[in-house]
Amino acid sequence: MLPSAFDYVVPDSLEEAVRALTEGPDARALAGGQSLLPLLKLRLARPARLVDLRRLDGLRYVRKVDGGVAVGGLTPHAEVAGSTLLVGGGRALAEAAAAIGDVQVRNRGTFGGSLAHADPSADLPAAVLALEATLLAHGPDGEREIRAGDFFLGPFATALRPGELLVGARMEIPEGSRGAYVKLRHKASGFALVGVAAVLEMDGSTCRRARLTVTGTGGRPLRLEETEEALAGLSLEDGRAVREACSGAGEVLEDVHDDLHGSAEYRRAMTSVMATRAVLRAVG
């Protein structure tokens, strides 16, 4: 099926892009197009205007900032996955980007596009939540910061306001931290039936603080707070203790998906399994 008719704009600057999004009704931003273009072809999305961001090269970067790393909204997943700056706890983000789709999707899809689309089974939201990232939005009123914990509101719903673009994110990566992302992959789509990101702050082999997040089980990514508390103070070289701490990770989840791809009971069980694997992978 072909998309319905729309106005097409290719702005040369971020300010022009914001104006194009706010001047007319029902405008949509196009970044890598890996989510939006299929919706257009199926006519599940019918914007009156498409604002193509391809010329905004200033939003394509992975670079060091004080205390951590910043990622631009138009950075392809492949560049995030291959960044040498995402080490330690930052591995959670690099591995989440590497787990997205296939090679073509990772080369075309963008960091900001995936987060703004907020698919409930996407990989990147779990990683930015585990890293407690600060997301940067730019709109008619200028730039503002949004905590990752406040950004994802529900399925395909975020805290972005009308006319705002997600232009990047900053995340602190504590020295000596470790990170990982693992998922149970849907074989056809590549999305996460269950995905868990782990960011661990360590004192030697002992976990001083853990941040674990899950995607694919409900309408938005969630922190596994009880499991985080159970891991704090543990020696993570003790695999049995890690498995015990993660054993109830899925039991406390509410509103878990129950569909033809997996029952709620299965997703709860796999949350505990993926949490254990993420922690053990992070500590090597």
**Rounded distance between C-alpha atoms, residue 259 and residue 20, angstroms:** 39
- Examine the domain organization and report whether 43 and 77 are in the same domain: no
Last-in-domain residue among 172, 205, 228: 172
Tell me whether residue 203 is in a domain: yes
Domains held by the chain: number: 3
**H or E segment to which residue 95 belongs:** helix 91-98
Spatial CA neighbour of 250 closest among 280, 219, 214, 221: 214
Q: 170 forms bridges with which residues in the sheet?
A: 70, 134
Q: Output the 3-class SS for 215-250.
A: ECCCCCCEECHHHHHHHCCCECCCHHHHHHHHCCCC
3-state secondary structure of 153: strand
Last-in-domain residue among 130, 150, 172: 172
- Examine the domain organization and report whether 17 and 89 are in the same domain: no
Q: pLDDT per position in the chain (284 positions), as tens?
A: 688 898 999 999 999 999 999 997 799 999 999 999 888 888 988 999 999 999 999 999 999 998 799 999 999 999 999 999 999 999 999 999 999 999 999 999 999 999 999 999 999 999 999 999 999 999 999 999 999 999 999 999 999 999 999 999 999 999 999 999 999 999 888 899 999 999 999 999 999 999 999 999 999 999 999 999 999 999 999 999 999 999 999 999 999 999 989 999 999 999 999 999 999 999 98
pLDDT at 109: 97
- The model's pTM is 0.95
3-state secondary structure of 161: coil
Tell me whether residue 113 is in a domain: yes
Contact 212, 272 (CB under 8 A): no
Last-in-domain residue among 33, 52, 71: 52
CATH number of the domain that residue 193 is part of: 3.30.390.50
CA torsion sign for 31, 34, 35, 36 is positive
- Examine the domain organization and report whether 184 and 232 are in the same domain: yes
Contact 238, 279 (CB under 8 A): no
- Examine the domain organization and report whether 70 and 93 are in the same domain: yes
pLDDT at 274: 98
- Examine the domain organization and report whether 24 and 64 are in the same domain: no
Tell me whether residue 2 is in a domain: no
- Examine the domain organization and report whether 104 and 38 are in the same domain: no
Which tokens is 146 given?
């949004």
CATH number of the domain that residue 72 is part of: 3.30.465.10
pLDDT at 25: 79
Domain range for 244: 178-283
DSSP letter string, 44-85: S---SEEEE-TT-GGG--EEEETTEEEEETT-BHHHHHT-TT
- Examine the domain organization and report whether 94 and 16 are in the same domain: no
Give the dihedral of Cα atoms 34, 40, 42, 46; nearest 10 deg. Answer: 150
pLDDT tens column, 1-12: 688 898 999 999
Spatial CA neighbour of 18 closest among 146, 108, 143: 143
**H or E segment to which residue 172 belongs:** strand 165-172
pLDDT tens column, 216-232: 999 999 999 999 999 99
CATH number of the domain that residue 12 is part of: 3.30.43.10
Tell me whether residue 127 is in a domain: yes
- Examine the domain organization and report whether 201 and 267 are in the same domain: yes
- Examine the domain organization and report whether 149 and 191 are in the same domain: no
pLDDT at 188: 86
- Examine the domain organization and report whether 99 and 23 are in the same domain: no
**Rounded distance between C-alpha atoms, residue 139 and residue 143, angstroms:** 6
